Structure 1
Amino acid sequence: MTASSDTALLVIDAQESFRQRPDDWAATANPAVLDNIALLVDHARTVGDPVVWITHSEPGTGGVFDPALGFVRVIGELAPADDEAAVTKTTINAFTSTDLQERLQGAGIRRVVICGIRTEQCCETTARVAADLGFEVEFVTDATTTSAIPSHGALAAVSGDDIMRRTESILSARGFATITDTKTRIGASSA
C-alpha cells in the first residue's frame, strides 16, 4: 500500500454476502449506503488517499460468509481498483485477524475513515480498535448501514435507525471517533 497522504479509507464488509439475505438487505436502515460508499471511494482516489477493501469470511460454516460459496467479495456496484489493498478478516474488527495495522502504519497512515456494512458490528468495532491503536478515526455514518434487531425474549426490538444513532453517540461521546457524513467528509477534505 502506498499513500500520498496520512489518511486511508476503510470500506468494511460491503460484500455480496449481505445481499444473500434478501429480507435483511431489503430492510436496511440506509438504502443510500452503496451510493455514499462509492462517493467516498471516488473522492479518496481523487485526493490520493489509499482505499482498503475489507471483507468478512467464515470458512467452513456453509453460510453466506463461507468463501466456498463465492459471496465473500465486494458488492458488484463497487469496483476495487487493481492497486487497492484487499484484506479478509475472520473477526468482527478489521485488525485482530489481519495485517491491517502493519499495512497502515507502514504506509504512514495516521487517520482512518470508516464506512461499510453493519454500523454497530464490524464498522463500530473497527473504529474502537483503530482508536485504541492510536489512529484518528472518522466515522461516516451515512456510508454505513444495518438492519433492525428483532425482539428476543424480554428484549425489545431495536430499529436500524436507532442502532445507527446509538453508534454515533457512543463513538463520539467516548472519544473513539469524529462522526461525519459523506457530504461533509468530501467537502472538508477538498478545502
Structure 2
Amino acid sequence: MRSALPAPGTVLLLIDLQRAIDHPSWGVRNNPHAERQLARLLVRWRNQGWPVWHVRHDSTSPESHYRPGQPGHEFKPEFAPMPGEPVIPKQTNSAFIGTDLENRLRKGNHDRLVVAGVITNNSVETTVRMAGNLGFQTWIVADGCFTFARTDWNGTLRSAEDIHAMSLANLDSEYCIVTTTDALLGTSS
C-alpha cells in the first residue's frame, strides 16, 4: 500500500521547466501560480539536501522553441540546476525513453518520485505513467504542473483547466498519487 505522502529523500523530478514554455504560441494556460508552488518545493528539497533532478527537452524539430541552440532551450532561471543536480536530456515526451533515468534511479536506490513541471497532459503524464508501470512510487503535484487549452478530437475547444483535471484523473491511483504543494510541505498557503 502506498503512503499518502512520500518519505523524506524522495527524488523531486522537474519536467521541462525551460524558457520555451513561456512562448505565447502555446496559448492560454491554467494554474498561473505553478511556478510559485514549484519554487516552494525546490526550496524545501534543496534545504533538506534531498535529490532534485531536472528533465530537459532537447527537441529535434527545427521549428521547436525547445530545440538546442534556441533561447527557449535554456532552463527558466528560477529552476536552473544547481551543481550536483542531475540533468536528464530527453527527445520524446517521456523522461524514461532514450534516457538513462531509470538506470540512474535504480543505481541510486531511488524508488520514490515526486513529479512536477510541464505539460501536464504531455511530458508529465507520460513520465508519470511510465514511472508507475516501472514500479516506482510516484506522486504528481497538481498545483506544480500546468497545461494549455486545446481542441479535442471532435473539434470542441477544451480549457486548460479541464485538460489538466482530466489528466490528473487519468493518473490518480493507477499510476501515482495526486497531491498538492501544501500537502507535501505540511503547510497551507
Please report the TM-score for the alignment, with normalisation by the length of structure 2. 0.88
Aligned to 2:108: 107
Q: Secondary structure at the match of 1:141?
A: strand
CA distance in 1: counterparts of 2:78 and 2:69, whole angstroms: 22
Pairs within 5 Å for 1:19-98: 19=22, 21-24=23-26, 27-59=28-60, 61-98=62-99
Residue by residue over 1:12-50, the C-alpha shift from the partner in whole angstroms, topping out at 9 and shown as x without a partner, is: 01111112x22536x220111111111111111223321
Q: Secondary structure at the match of 1:61?
A: coil
CA distance in 1: counterparts of 2:85 and 2:137, whole angstroms: 21
CA distance in 2: counterparts of 1:23 and 1:86, whole angstroms: 26
Residue by residue over 1:122-165, the C-alpha shift from the partner in whole angstroms, topping out at 9 and shown as x without a partner, is: 0011000001111000010100000100366x421111111111
Query: Partner amino acid for 1:177?
Result: C
Residue by residue over 1:69-127, the C-alpha shift from the partner in whole angstroms, topping out at 9 and shown as x without a partner, is: 23212112223211100111001010111101111111111110000011011001100
Q: 1:71 to 1:48 in 2, by over 3 A?
A: same
Query: Partner amino acid for 1:24?
Result: W
**RMSD between aligned residues:** 1.7
Q: Conserved in 2, the CA contact under 8 Å of 1:6 and 1:110?
A: no
Q: Secondary structure at the match of 2:97?
A: coil
Q: Secondary structure at the match of 1:40?
A: helix
Aligned to 1:117: 118
Q: Conserved in 1, the CA contact under 8 Å of 2:9 and 2:51?
A: no
Percent same amino acid among aligned pairs? 29
Q: Work out the number of aligned pairs and report it.
A: 180
Asked if residue 158 in structure 1 is aligned to residue 161 in structure 2, the reply is no
CA distance in 2: counterparts of 1:43 and 1:109, whole angstroms: 18
Shift of 1:68: 2.2
Shift of 1:6: 5.1
Please report the TM-score for the alignment, with normalisation by the length of structure 1. 0.87
Q: 1:100 to 1:115 in 2, by over 3 A?
A: same
Aligned to 2:3: none
Q: Conserved in 1, the CA contact under 8 Å of 2:120 and 2:147?
A: yes
CA distance in 1: counterparts of 2:141 and 2:107, whole angstroms: 24
Q: Conserved in 2, the CA contact under 8 Å of 1:148 and 1:158?
A: yes
Query: Partner amino acid for 1:178?
Result: I
Q: Secondary structure at the match of 2:139?
A: strand
Query: Partner amino acid for 1:181?
Result: T
In the alignment, structure 1 segments of 5+ residues that lack a partner are none
CA distance in 2: counterparts of 1:151 and 1:176, whole angstroms: 24
